[in-house]
Amino acid sequence: MSKTIIIYGSTTGNTEIISEEIKKGLEKGGKDVTIKNVINADINELSNYDLILLGCSTWGLGELQDDFQPFYGEMAVEHFKGKNVAVFGTGDSDMYPDTFCEAVKILEDKLKECEAEIIADSFTVDGDTENFQNAAEAWGLKLAKMI
């Protein structure tokens, strides 16, 4: 069975909620899924997974969520080269229209530098997660069918 890890950074809980919904979709698609808050994730364990999903909320003027910054600093080619990856994130287009979900772009750019294989368009959530839970589960199922 294909192994997937979801690593998320969440301050208010929204990205954590979306992570759980994505996990449901992946499991419906037959994937063995591990989910971890980024503060409990070890970059060296990524070699054990066939699919890596990174989820991060955007803060301030387009910054990574605080807990995600140390993990981001450790990201390197040896951890991601040739790995199947996808990124998701939460943001607020009303308050920050110019930097909405910028953390997703930051992570995707870093993954490209690390020679990862981004297998799908990112999944972004604007505002309240209740409106996006079904879509998050569907995105997870779509990813499960891709690998």
Q: What is the CATH number of the domain that holds 140?
A: 3.40.50.360
For residue range 71-97, list pLDDT tens digits in order.
999 999 999 999 999 999 999 888 888
**The pLDDT value given to residue 53:** 98
* Total domains, the chain: 1
Q: State both tokens at 66.
A: 């605080």
Q: State both tokens at 59.
A: 């803060």
**The pLDDT value given to residue 129:** 62
39, pLDDT greater than 90: yes
CB contact at 8 A, 88 and 104:
yes
66, pLDDT greater than 80: yes
**The pLDDT value given to residue 71:** 98
1, pLDDT greater than 70: no
* Range 104-117 average pLDDT: 98
Mean pLDDT of all residues belonging to the chain: 94
Give the residue numbers spanning the domain of 88: 3-146
**The pLDDT value given to residue 81:** 97
Distance between CA atoms of 42 and 62, rounded to whole angstroms? 25
Phi, psi values for residue 49, rounded to 5°: -120, 145
* Range 31-45 average pLDDT: 97
Split at pLDDT 50, 70, 90, the class of 57 is very high
User: Quick one: what percent of the chain has pLDDT higher than 70?
Assistant: 97
Q: State both tokens at 61.
A: 């003027």
**The pLDDT value given to residue 94:** 87
